[in-house]
C-alpha cells in the first residue's frame, strides 16, 4: 500500500518540527482504513441497512440493489415509488464490517473513496436527484450533505452541497462523465457550525475536475451515516426521468487517527559499509549516513513496538546524482520492498522522503535498508515509524 500525499503531508509536517526532535513518539494525523468491502465476498452485508423498494411498489423489479461483478448496482425504474409517492428511492446506508457497523461521531474526520459509473440514462433533473447523502439515522431530519445530479440553466451537472446552509462545495458538468468510471473522494469533519467541513474531489481518467473544501455544519445529532444509491423527485420538468441505474465499486472508508511518529536517526543505527558525515546541510540530528558505493551496504534501525500491527516507514534521504539508488527494505529479515527507488533529489543538500507500509511485530523490530546496486544507498538521514 502506498502512502497518500496527505499522510506524507502529515509526516513532512512532523519533520518540520526540526532537527531537535528527539527519538520519542510525536503525533501526526494519519488515515486508518476502516472499511473496504469486497462486493463478491460480503454482498449487501457491506451496509448497515438496505432500502430496496421499501414501499414494495414494484415487486417484479426486485431486487433493485445487488452485486454485479465487483460493483454494487442500484436499479431505478420509472414505476418505482417511495413511501412518499412524489419520489423514488433505492438506497443503502452505513458502512458495515463483519463485526458490526461503523459509527461516525462528532469530532471525528472520515474519508470515503470510491469509483462510480453513471450511465447516460441517469440524468440530472430540475428537482432533486441525490446519488449520495450523509444523514443522521432515523426519519424526519434533512440530509447533512448531498451529492446530486442537478440541471443548472439547462445543463446537467453533478454537485456536492452542505444541505442546511445550501453551501455549494463543488460542481462540474455531468455529461462528459456519463458512461464511464469516475473516482470520488469525500471527506467530512463532523462538527457543529464552523467546526465542521467537507472536502469533495472528483476525478476522471486521472484528471482532477473538482477538489474543493467548505466549512459548514456537519452534525445534527447522534451520528453521521452515509447513504448511497438513487433518491430522486418525480417533479422533474426536463423529461429526464427514465429507467436507469448506478454502479459503485472500490468503496473505502478511512478514519483520521492520531498516529505516533518515532524518528530514528541513521547516525545512531547499525551501519555496514558506510560512515556518518555532516558535510551536506539539511539533515536532522547530528549527521547522516554516507554508505559506500557498493551493493550490499546497509543501515539497520531497531524499533520497539508495543504491539504487532501495520506501520508506515518513511526514509529521509538525499541523492545528489541523477541516477537512481534503489535499495531493499527488510523488516525482521523479510524484504517488504525490493528495489525501492531513491531517485536523484537534485543535490546532496536536497532531502526527500520515501514511504512504505509494513507490518511490525511486537517487541524489537529490525528495519534494514540495503543498497541493491553498485551505486550504494543514497545518503540516509533518518527512518520514521508512523503507527
Question: What is the SS3 assignment for 319?
Answer: coil
Q: Which is nearer to ligand GCU, 88 or 379 (by Cβ)?
A: 379
d(CA 192, CA 124): 30
Q: Is 370 in the site for ligand GCU (CB under 6 A)?
A: no
Give the interface segment with Ca ion, choosing from 59-67, 190-198, 206-214, 286-294 (CB under 5 A). Answer: 286-294
Q: Does 274 bind ligand GCU (CB under 6 A)?
A: no
Lookup: cell for 266: 541513521
Cβ closest to ligand GCU, residue 35 vs residue 348: 348
Binding track, positions 301-330, relative to ligand GCU; x by CB under 6 A:
--------------------x---------
What cell was used for 357?
507500509
Residue 146's φ and ψ, nearest 5 degrees, are -140, 140
Q: Are 188 and 162 in contact (CB under 8 A)?
A: no
Per partner kind, with CB cut-offs from 5 to 8 A, the member of Ca ion, ligand GCU, none near residue 348 is ligand GCU
Which one, 156 or 379, has the nearer CB to ligand GCU? 379
To the nearest whole angstrom, how small is the minimum distance from the Cβ of residue 325 to ligand GCU?
A: 8
CB 117 within 8 A of CB 71: yes
3-state SS, residue 43: helix
Nearest distance, CB of residue 303 and Ca ion, angstroms = 24
For Ca ion (CB under 5 A), the number of binding residues is: 2
| Residue 345 binds Ca ion (CB under 5 A) | no
Query: Greatest CA span in the chain, whole angstroms?
Result: 76
CA 100 to chain centre: 21
Tell me whether residue 57 or residue 293 sits nearer to ligand GCU (CB atom): 293
Helix ranges, the chain (H) = 5-15, 39-42
How many C-beta atoms surround the C-beta of residue 280 within 10 A?
18
**Residue 90 binds to Ca ion (criterion: CB under 5 A):** no
Minimum CB separation of residue 276 from ligand GCU in Å reads 11
Q: Which residue has the cell 537534485?
A: 346
Residue 127 interacts with which of Ca ion, ligand GCU, none, CB < 5 to 8 Å by class: none
247 vs 318, beta carbon nearer Ca ion: 318
User: Radius of gyration of the chain from Cα atoms?
Assistant: 25
Indicate the residue among 85 and 278 with the shorter CB distance to ligand GCU. Answer: 278
Q: Smallest distance, Å, CB 313 to ligand GCU?
A: 22
Residue range at the interface with Ca ion (CB under 5 A); choices 8-16, 49-57, 135-143, 376-384: 376-384
C-alpha 149/C-alpha 277 separation (Å) is 59
Q: Which of 97, 195, 293, 349 binds ligand GCU (CB under 6 A)?
A: 293
Q: Does 290 contact ligand GCU by CB under 6 A?
A: yes
Q: Which of 317, 342, 348, 351 binds ligand GCU (CB under 6 A)?
A: 348
Distance CA 122, CA 242 (A): 7
Report the residue number whose CB is nearest to Ca ion: 290
Least distance (Å) from ligand GCU to the CB of residue 294? 10
- Please select the residue that binds Ca ion; options are 156, 290, 319, 365, rule is CB under 5 A: 290
Phi/psi for 339 (5° steps) reads 60, 40
At 9 the three-state DSSP class reads helix
DSSP state of 224: B
Find all residues with CB under 8 Å of 177, minimum gap 6, and list them: 118, 158, 202, 204, 209
Interface ranges with Ca ion (CB under 5 A): 290, 376
Interface ranges with ligand GCU (CB under 6 A): 280, 290, 293, 321, 348, 376, 379
Amino acid at each position: 500500500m502506498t502512502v497518500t500525499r496527505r499522510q506524507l503531508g502529515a509526516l513532512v509536517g512532523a519533520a518540520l518540527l526540526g532537527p531537535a526532535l528527539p527519538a520519542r513518539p510525536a503525533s501526526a494525523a494519519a488515515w486508518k482504513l476502516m472499511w473496504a468491502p469486497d462486493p463478491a465476498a460480503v454482498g449487501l452485508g457491506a451496509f448497515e441497512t438496505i432500502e430496496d423498494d421499501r414501499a414494495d411498489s414494484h415487486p417484479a423489479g426486485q431486487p433493485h440493489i445487488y452485486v454485479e461483478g465487483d460493483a454494487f448496482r442500484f436499479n431505478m425504474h420509472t414505476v418505482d415509488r417511495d413511501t412518499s409517492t412524489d419520489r423514488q428511492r433505492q438506497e443503502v446506508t452505513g458502512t458495515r464490517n463483519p463485526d458490526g457497523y461503523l459509527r461516525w461521531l462528532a469530532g471525528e474526520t472520515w474519508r470515503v473513496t470510491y469509483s462510480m459509473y453513471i450511465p447516460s440514462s441517469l440524468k440530472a433533473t430540475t428537482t432533486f436527484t441525490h446519488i449520495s447523502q450523509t444523514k443522521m439515522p432515523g426519519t424526519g431530519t434533512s440530509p447533512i450533505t448531498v451529492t446530486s445530479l442537478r440541471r443548472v440553466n439547462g445543463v446537467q451537472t453533478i454537485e456536492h452541497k452542505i444541505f442546511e446552509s445550501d453551501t455549494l462545495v463543488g460542481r462540474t458538468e455531468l455529461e462528459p462523465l456519463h458512461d464511464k468510471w469516475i473516482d470520488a473522494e469525500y471527506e467530512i469533519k463532523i462538527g457543529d457550525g464552523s467546526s465542521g467541513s467537507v472536502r469533495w474531489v472528483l476525478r476522471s481518467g486521472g484528471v482532477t475536475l473538482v477538489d474543493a473544501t467548505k466549512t459548514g455544519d456537519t452534525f445534527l445529532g447522534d451520528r453521521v451515516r452515509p447513504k448511497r444509491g438513487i433518491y430522486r423527485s418525480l417533479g422533474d420538468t426536463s423529461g429526464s426521468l427514465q429507467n436507469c441505474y448506478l454502479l459503485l465499486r472500490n468503496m473505502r472508508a478511512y478514519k483520521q487517527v492520531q498516529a505516533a511518529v518515532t524518528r530514528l536517526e541513521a547516525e545512531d543505527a547499525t551501519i555496514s559499509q558506510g560512515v556518518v558525515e555532516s558535510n551536506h546541510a539539511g539533515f536532522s540530528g547530528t549527521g547522516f549516513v554516507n554508505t559506500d558505493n557498493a551493493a550490499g551496504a546497509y543501515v539497520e534501525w531497531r524499533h520497539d513496538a508495543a504491539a504487532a500491527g501495520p506501520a508506515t516507514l518513511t526514509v529521509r534521504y538525499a541523492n545528489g546524482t541523477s541516477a537512481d539508488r534503489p535499495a531493499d527494505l527488510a523488516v525482521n529479515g523479510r524484504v517488504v520492498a525490493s528495489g525501492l527507488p531513491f531517485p536523484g533529489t537534485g543535490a546532496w543538500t536536497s532531502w526527500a522522503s520515501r514511504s512504505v507500509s509494513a507490518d511490525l511485530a511486537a517487541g524489537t523490530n529490525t528495519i534494514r535498508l540495503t543498497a541493491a546496486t553498485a551505486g550504494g544507498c543514497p545518503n540516509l538521514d533518518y527512518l520514521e515509524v508512523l503507527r
